[in-house]
Structure 1
Amino acid sequence: MSEKRQKGLATLAQLAEFDEIIDVRSPAEYEDDRLPRAINCPVLDNEERARVGTIYKQVSAFEAKKIGAAIVSRHIGEHIEARFLDKPREWRPLVYCWRGGKRSGAFTYILREIGWDAHRLDGGYKTWRRHVVEELATLPQRFDYRVVSGATGNAKSRVLEALAEMGAQVLHLEALAAHKGSVLGALPDTPQPAQRMFETQLYTTLSAFDPARPVYVEAESRRIGVLHLPDALIGAIRAAPCLRIEATTAARVNFLLRDYDYFLANPALLTDKIVHLKGLQSNETIERWQAMANAGEFPALFGELLEHHYDPLYQKSQGKNYTGYDAAASFATDDLSPQGVKAIAERILASQGHQSA
């Protein structure tokens, strides 16, 4: 038996061996990022963690440890009673905190005293975070990407989803980022994940891919909403072959009316977003577009947004940022309905020598 196992310590390489992964950090730490599959059983909530930290800095480490121990002990008992009393003797949990020290050590000790084969993650969350950062510096370069490109409104994300349904490997960056990637792309009532959580999701998704098969991904800028793509990933994508969707303007407008239907139900939400175009469009244009939104003139508004804002930006950026854009295979269509999107995905797979599953 290894020294780490004798001490009840486990490494990242052993994650799959455990039945449950327990994150004992505060809810705020857990929300910011966490290990895949981890459940949150905080031994100090957000306020308690701040309180103990303040005592540690302003009074003494001894006073902070006394108060912290009382709170931690109480919460460990609450979690065991609420969540783990039904676990059999063979249950094997892995526990971690920020550094793999006091919080996870206390929780692990109690679980082991009960009789469960509980382990503590050596180095805690910091070990996981370091691993993700190191892997994202090289992992994205191991794959053969196919970049689905096309101006705004060409249903690129929906095509990716159709490709995934057909069995293709798809890296859906906008889904991971909870954002559609444009100035109007924020999703209502859906905040974006923290940058660290986004990177964990990227790493987890990429780790599941087969390097021998192509990975389909949408042409993105370096930033999606407030989130940034890792340098290795954006570099690999921008050097990859492109597949360009070219739908008619009418088809694109009709698609946007469906895909952004929440704006139609709440024009004020759209007028607030249009304000962010100041500096890119004249004040007169901004005011006119806001008036069109308030009047419900959505087809005309979306047509103008495409013609005067999105298409010019797209033409400037794609050839500059994507080396394979000029030589991209083109997929023309006048139908971006769900069936039309499926047909584009089938054509893309056929062009790559693959058939849908």
Structure 2
Amino acid sequence: MATGKVLMFYYLSDYLMDRATGTSWEASLSGLRLFHYITFRSAGAAVTALLMSLLLGPRVIAWLKELSFGQNYQDRAEAAGNFAGRTGKKVGTPTMGGLLIIVTLNASTLLWAQWNTLVQLTLLSVVVLAGLGFYDDYTKISKASSGGAKSHIKLYVQIALALFIGVYLWRLPATSKLITDVMVPFYKYPILSSAGVLGLVITMLTIVGSSNAVNLTDGLDGLAIGCTLIVSFVFLILTYLCGNAKAADYLQIPHVPGAGELTVICAAIVGAGLGFLWYNCHPAQVFMGDTGSLALGGALGIIAVLIHQPLVLIIAGGVFVMEALSVILQTSYFRLTKKRFGAGRRLFLMAPIHHHFEKKNWTETQVVMRFYILCVLCAVVALSSLKIR
């Protein structure tokens, strides 16, 4: 057993039981077998992340204020939208609160998960994308007029990470089918086999698209993190079932050895997200910034790929898809009409679409709660794919 693994409860319990075998302590330590159950460790990860978030939240917020890591500028949406009743109210609120989520998520996962390749790849994507988001947030704060990191730089990093993960999975015999076999929701068999290039493209689109979609959704107090919680709960169930050979066989879904440990990560996201939502609900005391949104979106994307269900994320994350599509359609339609008629026209009053509803005089809390409801409905449809096949 590696020395570093002693810090993880799973390996520590194994170590203690092994040392106690044949001694008077053996019966007393038999309860440590609980750490072999993914359900127990997932619950532990969720509670640990939640408590850490709640306890560290005020300290992190105070620390961000001391460092002047606040949104000391009016964001583009607020400036362009001229929303009645809240113009300028978000100025000064600490951003980069995603650090709280990332630290508690990683710490909780390292304590409760059993180390494997799937866990490593997920945490790698979280750290890389959190670093990218931190750079973007810091650039916005230090150079408010710059609007953050250049969009093409962010995209290049995301594509490079997704390409690395896709090629790594493809080249590894144990995981190559995650790339070469293409699965779709509501169908029990791969629709394509030996489709390496197409599978690689789907993998990249899933990770990059999910990361950016969550980022675009992060525009109202509690919106992005609340929807992330709902989608994470869907994947908490999916990862557990995909990692359990008997359950996967019964439901006729792909069985991925080791995927059960991703349940611990999903549980940690839920716990960390709930703790963050405590401080991010309206009126927000802290924003997650790109530090959190890029990382959480990327995590959902990589988890969907690792359980061989990338397209299920489109259903479960329907709100994220709607937000991203609204921006793509708005931008494309504006450019097309400008080229054709000389003046750009808009499909929506404002994009992303949550701002469209604000322009229609929905209050911020109305938009958030109604999007939560839509997200729950999408989650139900995604989970129904387990039985309707």
Instruction: Specify which structure has the bigger relative contact order, considering alpha-carbon pairs within 8 angstroms and separated by 6 or more residues.
Output: 2
Q: TM-score, normalised by structure 1?
A: 0.27
Q: TM-score, normalised by structure 2?
A: 0.25
Instruction: Give the structure with the larger strand fraction.
Output: 1
